[in-house]
Amino acid sequence: MTQQVPLLINGELVQSESTNIIPVTNPATQEVIAHVPCATPAEVDRAVAAAKAAFETWKETPVGDRARLMLRYQALLKDNQDEIATLLAQETGKTFADAKGDVWRGIEVVEHACNIASLSMGETVENVARNIDCYSITQPLGVCVGITPFNFPAMIPLWMFPMAIACGNTFVLKPSEQDPLTPMRLAELFKQAGAPDGLLQIVHGTKDVVNQLLTHKDTPAISFVGSVAVGEHIYRTGTEHLKRVQAFAGAKNHMVVMPDASKNQVVNNIAGASVGAAGQRCMAISVAVFVGEAREWIPEVRDALAKVRPGAWDDPDAGYGPLINPQAKQRVLNFIQEGKDAGADCILDGSDCVVEGFPDGNWVGPTMFRNVSRDMSIYQEEIFGPVLIALEVDTLAEAIELINENPYGNGTSIFTSSGAAARKYQHEIKVGQVGINVPVPVPLPMFSFTGWRKSFYGDQHAYGKQAVKFYTETKTVTSRWFEDDIDTGVNTTIQLK
């Protein structure tokens, strides 16, 4: 009998009463490996209520105890990394090596949460006026919500609930219905680490569950990662209901290639960053901008891409796995056809990709276009597949102008041996995360993930110090203690004396 994925409410695994059931499939075979329920409205309310009740106790828990919970949790995640990665690979199609990377980047954020005492310190100034001191403290918000996508079912939930809970909040996670098994395993290990019941709830479902969480009176903070259209909806709906929202949305990431760059590094890094994880990364390089004579390297990039072979998760020679589902595959194929129809040169076509032994997999081979105009859909929209677009310009200034005109601002990189070119690029580019000779500049957790423009809606970003600000409120205290009982008279002004 196929497993039915449970909900997690108040520390208990609960079989949903919902009749709305979604199959979870292996993307390489279409085999149904589990069924996930769309939680009923009553079950969502129960989850929020359990989190709210747990918050009353957890917010009083000493910060050292919260940090020690995260220390135990990161140890368990490390001990079980291979097991989690195997589960993740089977339900997402990622290669095992890529799945381990997914888990590891989440572990790094949990390690960062272990430092919560230092991260949540306030500020103090003595004698802001005579015998009056002023200081700030941070306090948790309450029940926080995370809505996570399919493409990083370990890393992105671990961006969210460990930081929120370390700050003193409780959490309701709504993971992607396409790969819920990995988040459920993360939750089991969290409980094993000693997390009290009610700290973390998991509810499954689609837009109805999301909208209920967005509008619920007891969920003051919403964190979301997903597409642009959904990100806008999350942000608008959440803020209209007076919630604090961070919504990470789509991307169209450019890599600029200067003629003085190391050609071998350029070729290898573009190939890996464009088709890794089948291009299903919000930080994937989907556009390479070749400046001046660097355009002569385009055939070599194409040849390197052609050597990358997709395959099943346990194939050690596979460069990446299948798309998450047949609909995602068809969407990518539609974009490839639109590019051809619009007159772009498809110099490498992966539309008819076949992987031996897996005839039903959602395969798309590495694909590359040249002679693409900026008004074509393959440039304007996020394809989210193993498709690379090569653009050609004459100068660095043209490359910067091109990228700054694009509506997205998630990540970008430049490959060059010139410090002056790199400095100009990082200063003038209107993108939140910049790599210099680094193709995928995802920051480590002591910093924050900082997409700009249509790639992000909100003001405080994920993990790092900004996550602490997002998951807490600042309270400022002004205090004075009288040394004697001298009558100084009534003061009716706002000025402190």
Cα(51)–Cα(370) distance, integer angstroms: 52
pLDDT greater than 90 at residue 477: yes
One-letter amino acid of 241: H
* Model confidence pLDDT, tens digit, residues 291-336: 999 999 999 999 999 999 999 999 999 999 999 999 999 999 999 9
**Spacing of C-alpha 421 from chain mean position:** 30
Q: Residue 268: phi, psi to the nearest 5? A: -70, -40
The pLDDT value given to residue 488: 66
Report domain extents, the chain.
Answer: 3-250+451-479, 253-407+411-436
Which residues are catalytically annotated?
Answer: 282
Instruction: Provide the angle, in degrees to the nearest 10, between the axes of the packed helices 396-405 and 419-428.
Output: 20
Cα(241)–Cα(233) distance, integer angstroms: 12
Q: If you average pLDDT over residues 477-497, what whole number do you get? A: 74
Same fold, 3-250+451-479 and 253-407+411-436: no
353 three-state secondary structure: coil
* Model confidence pLDDT, tens digit, residues 196-226: 999 999 999 999 999 999 999 999 999 999 9
Q: Which CATH number applies to 3-250+451-479: 3.40.1160.10, 3.60.20.10, 1.10.8.60, 3.40.605.10? A: 3.40.605.10
Report the b/e string of 379-410 with b at 16+ CB within 10 A. Answer: bebbbbbbbbbbbbbeebeebbebbeebebbb
Pair of tokens at residue 426: 């990082």
227 three-state secondary structure: coil
Residue where the block lists tokens 């003595």? 126
Q: Residue 438: phi, psi to the nearest 5? A: -130, 120
* Model confidence pLDDT, tens digit, residues 95-117: 999 999 999 999 999 999 999 99
pLDDT band at 379 (very low <50, low <70, confident <90, very high): very high
Confirm if 322 and 93 have CB atoms less than 8 A apart.
yes
Cα(128)–Cα(21) distance, integer angstroms: 60
Cα(274)–Cα(439) distance, integer angstroms: 9
CATH number of 253-407+411-436: 3.40.309.10
